[in-house]
Amino acid sequence: MTTPKWINEKEVSTMTGRAVQSLRNDRCQCKGIPYSKIGSSIRYKVEDVVAFMEGHRIIPKREQEGRHDGQRKAA
């Protein structure tokens, strides 16, 4: 069994491209990435951060259809 890796909000900001203040706002509004708080220390599990990003992944329609050349589907 491997021990989960925990990272701080600055590392999450770097990993996701979201501002630290946005992460703080999400916590105040009880939304966003799951986290743990011990005293004033905030930590995020790396796997939760990755899952959050994967859960918000958008796949463009043409990629879903398997076309990358810009051609339209024949009518």
DSSP string across 30-57? T-SS--EEETTEEEEEHHHHHHHHHHT-
4-56 confidence digits (pLDDT tens): 899 999 999 999 999 999 999 999 999 999 999 999 999 999 999 999 999 99
Q: Specify the pTM.
A: 0.75
19-33 confidence digits (pLDDT tens): 999 999 999 999 999
